[in-house]
Structure 1
């Protein structure tokens, strides 16, 4: 398989990135040029390199592309990026088949992190954070392990979102957008100098309201309505008295009230794609507030050496309520409140010599999470456990029971279990749990390239990571039902008293506390590679890099225990091809990869009940594939792009135990890992001011969960989406109509057959945009 990497690096058939080497703004005006990225510069590897100089597989979405394609949220970027897909709707994503949260449910840290203006956001921000694309300068998706430079929670990759910077000329933009679902959006961005050439500002704001598409007749409200406000301010300080100093301060606030992380719609009724309803008696909503503060300071010590200091703080507060059984009666519901504070400091030296280019840095971060969960749940009665306990009790007086005695005891236990469970089919439990968690990380890292000859370059880097992870739990569980009366069971009355005590003990067991448990982890993460420049415009490279996610502790709710698990590791082998043609107007790039994954963190159920699960290092897997991307500016009026991604994932070892039952899930694929992803688009600009853009993206079928019978259960069918935008614009204004999912493709991202609900795709959306620029 690894031979595939060598072959793939020589394939010029495969395509390059959707942003070309010299991309311009959608209008040839000086004002718009300030927010466009004229030359694609990759910053996610902590140094400024052109796209063609970057060997890492990176997809860059520039400000110009955001404008042309009417990209409104981060998940529009996901749909257009090779080897990237949504997971459970717009609540998470995969990179090369690896979920940003967890592949197999295990682990408390994520596998890919989103950075917004330098601040690393926690996982809950992937569905409730500031991910709107208004006034964004660039989005970079780094595919493959970024553990060497990014450290924790980047085993699958990283996403770098950077907002537009202040300008030394006064300019502004304002936009009004109206779309399907009664969506109304008002946005404004203003930038300019405070002290000419020394101090500049930028302020951007967006207010979005939408009624959504799912109505709840029980509560008489739109269950997926959105109310979102995002405000951001930036200051850029470049004092003439101290040449070489550049300081950027960013402050941002996002306030979001929207549907719950998983907003389901009923599918047990006709024509459910056109008439989407939810019958839940409790509102499924998430209120989230995100605040970000980042200070980024650089100082050029010499013409080759730059000192960088970056400090960031962000806090994400989410208050969620949800219905568990999706029924009108208020019988099973919950709330989940999380407060996460993250601080980080980085000190870095960058060197840009003729032959040696590189960096070395120090990193420290601390993440404090308060995690409170409360619910009223109906736990399915553990029938198998009850029968086993009763059978053992009936045979207690027979030290060596015969086969006939065992059969008779089992029959009697089953007969009684049928009667008891008919009286108490579920165990109603009120649960409250508080699980504070603190993660403190320190690291030293380095990355460099050294030109051995004019054509051959040695690549290398490392990270030494030290982490301290502390978790505790306080749990309280209370039985909220009515125990069956022994008097109603005749001869079985003695057993009823015994089983009532069994149920009470089972509930009580989930209500104890576990003291704080602290674990430390150390990891050395090397990277090595070679790059060869065949010509000025064609180069290939081979790299090997170690990926890592730390271990930790997980809380088993059913047993109220804190269970430790160890780190997991990957070795990533990658080949890259970078080419430019026709004086740089055409780029054709590709990356191929092979990954070995060991000590994989997996969630296993121990069989007591549906809440008896914990994380163990029970997995081993591998994955391989490629990304190929091409883009061309044919004429000043016409441009196009295309991308193709292929990924195969496979669990080599994946054993899950549930009581005495052990299931071997090896051979199954990762959830939400389509084999093929494809995207293409083109736009044309007439000289009279009219513009047109059309793009499409395809995702092959995938599976919504890992398992032995994936072809029968949990299939997410393939889908093909088309989007378009047509408009007329002049120097200072523009008017546009657009459509998303033009053919109204229908599909489900996740089905709950047991409850008759599913996560449905968005319907066709048609909108009108009016914009002014000055």
Structure 2
């Protein structure tokens, strides 16, 4: 199947691209090939989808300015990364983990790699690079009637390159500032007329550019100062009958990631902190935190590296995807997935001779899932019906010695069984009705244990089970082949649960949350499909929204979960792509967002009227891509991110507001007839300094990505 170059910014309410655009070569249109949606369960044709989806394709993902799949968000409206390593991605101001700790429990948005559902820790760290990745799809808003796992906030589907029956190979080498090194190799071929394979691997490493002088004596210093990542994977395609009507695709991948920490200490973090300008990342080192965030500590202690974690995650994914076409109208798909993530957590001084105040721990999470669905598409009638089952097991422990020996244990076992479906019917010319529903059963058991010096203070088992019905209704109107409106209503849900604050073992519980989402979308194509424009408006009404609160400012180990009685979020997205010639594409996107807690009081503080933490009130992206496979080429992107509120921390009645910021990414190079391409690049070209999080004025802050300049060599044959 021919793949088209990246032309689509998939706009607002849907993908604004015709599935095949065979256009006149003497006009403004060009043959754009075919775009296929992998995560859209109702159809793989973006011209028929009513999902609010944004897509980054292979050509964009191959750019050296896109180091990770999260970097592709720079082009999308109302999509951005989380505020630090221990958080997920953000869709419409909602973190994929919700506003809750992500170590245990169900996330608000799901992440899939080649159809395999990822764990929370596997989403934070694990598969990161974009080498040999075909597509990243971001679905905004509830996905309950079309997804295996109910995703209240949205979902991301990452698809790596599938095997083909033709020999292919590519190599990629990158070198940039701070000793950034990256190598990627991929090779595929056929084993027989009905069996093909593809194998690939990627490795990257980069040194930190922050200052950590007091940590250099610790044995884990080398692990801490270097951002390390690698991934190896293999895929096997089998056509049992020799025809495309039946396919079996097996995939396996193994990933490792150990990212560096971008937290720095401000002048008010401790009595001897030199301030943000020194870019001191050893916030628990010889900065002498005898007073930290306003809390006095014993003067005998001059450093606390026990609080500085070094975290490394390995992720293993295995998937079996079977598709069978009974006819041109009816297709069966069965997806079996297994994912396991293991995150080791050690304080940077753990294992160093003479160090007795240390921390060690581990998160282990595993998901086994099975989804089966039928798709029917025949003229005015389209429908999808599916069943889903998953079993998730989570284990975590943390041992810490300071003035006492504290041991905490958390575990969870979650069973999810669901039936889901959606029907779309053209009841009159141009008019189509949409009805869908999900019946979801969840059985969740969470266990929590905490002991200090052998004295057990918490030892609980909390069970939660529920059956919910989540409806969807909508109507579509197409007043021409290239113009369409859609109005939909859909509900989302996440179960309640319990946990303990890992710093003191205090038990907390929280109720289930629900959301009602109203969405109006429009898409249009103009100038013989060379210009696509789309927009959507959305309003989301939340009940019992689960919100993370820090009991101690700047201390994630003090986090607990509370319920906001009621909250709202609403906004708009518009995305535009224009290809005036075969060698030039220009694009732009605007995301607008308003969020508000209508009724939320915790710890004696009323947070009503405040926005959601980490929810930018606006973002704007503009850019261009010029060139072709051979000859000179250039790309540029400007991304503006509006203000957002920092995290909610107990005792802080009005959390800080993060300033807006603008970043510029550019690249240019030359493609040779031999298949080689050389690219010079710069990310954050103007070296804009910005914060993603700050605990208090001049306290603890998380720096955004700094400038990187480098060179890449690609060779395809």
Q: Which has the larger radius of gyration?
A: 1
Deviation at 1:105, TM superposition (A): 5.7
- The equivalent residue for 1:502 is none
Cα 1:632–1:708 change in 2 (3 A) is: farther
**Is 1:446 paired with 2:421?**
yes
**2:202 and 2:399 mapped to 1: Cα distance?**
33
**Is 1:620 paired with 2:566?**
yes
730-739 vs 146-155, which moves further: 146-155
Normalization by structure 2: what TM-score? 0.86
**1:535 and 1:365 mapped to 2: Cα distance?**
42
Deviation at 1:214, TM superposition (A): 2.5
* CA deviation string 1:287-346 (max 9, x = no partner): 11100000000111222111111101010000012469xxxx968653331111110011
Deviation at 1:104, TM superposition (A): 5.9
- The equivalent residue for 1:125 is 122
- The equivalent residue for 2:645 is 703
- The equivalent residue for 2:88 is 92
* CA deviation string 1:190-225 (max 9, x = no partner): 1121113x1111111001121122242223246341
Task: Look up the SS of the partner of 1:51 in the other structure.
Answer: coil
Task: Look up the SS of the partner of 1:218 in the other structure.
Answer: helix
- The equivalent residue for 2:399 is 374
1:432 paired residue among 398, 401, 407: 407
Deviation at 1:559, TM superposition (A): 7.9
1:553 paired residue among 495, 498, 502: 498
Deviation at 1:439, TM superposition (A): 0.5
**2:15 and 2:65 mapped to 1: Cα distance?**
15
* CA deviation string 1:250-283 (max 9, x = no partner): 0000022333xx5422344668567554253456
1:650 paired residue among 590, 593, 596: 596
Deviation at 1:79, TM superposition (A): 2.8
Say if 2:13 and 2:520, in contact at 8 Å, map to a contact too. Answer: no
Q: CA RMSD in A?
A: 3.1
Say if 1:17 and 1:643, in contact at 8 Å, map to a contact too. Answer: no
* CA deviation string 1:687-744 (max 9, x = no partner): 9701111111110011112489999642211010000110011131111100000000
- The equivalent residue for 1:102 is 98
Give runs of aligned pairs for residues 179-258 of structure 1, distance below 5 A: 179-196=176-193, 198-220=194-216, 221=221, 223-241=224-242, 244-258=245-259
**2:654 and 2:562 mapped to 1: Cα distance?**
27
Deviation at 1:169, TM superposition (A): 1.0
330-339 vs 308-317, which moves further: 330-339
**1:192 and 1:109 mapped to 2: Cα distance?**
39
Give runs of aligned pairs for residues 565-714 of structure 1, distance below 5 A: 565-603=510-548, 614-657=560-603, 662-685=604-627, 689-706=631-648, 713-714=655-656
How many residue pairs align between the two structures?
659
Task: Look up the SS of the partner of 1:41 in the other structure.
Answer: coil
Cα 1:459–1:723 change in 2 (3 A) is: same
- The equivalent residue for 1:285 is 310
Cα 1:621–1:272 change in 2 (3 A) is: closer
* CA deviation string 1:620-679 (max 9, x = no partner): 10111011000011101111110000010000110103xxxx221110000111111111
Normalization by structure 1: what TM-score? 0.79
Cα 1:450–1:254 change in 2 (3 A) is: same
Is the helix fraction higher in 1 or 2? Answer: 1
Cα 1:15–1:512 change in 2 (3 A) is: closer
**Is 1:265 paired with 2:210?**
no
**1:153 and 1:307 mapped to 2: Cα distance?**
20
Give runs of aligned pairs for residues 166-565 of structure 1, distance below 5 A: 166-196=163-193, 198-220=194-216, 221=221, 223-241=224-242, 244-259=245-260, 262-268=261-267, 272=276, 276-278=280-282, 280=285, 281=305, 284-322=309-347, 334-376=359-401, 428-478=403-453, 508=455, 511-555=456-500, 563-565=508-510
Task: Look up the SS of the partner of 2:214 in the other structure.
Answer: coil
Q: Is there any run of 5+ residues in structure 2 with no aligned partner, and where? A: 1-10, 22-30, 268-272, 286-304
Say if 1:37 and 1:62, in contact at 8 Å, map to a contact too. Answer: no
2:49 paired residue among 54, 70, 73: 54
Say if 1:739 and 1:764, in contact at 8 Å, map to a contact too. Answer: yes
89-98 vs 167-176, which moves further: 89-98
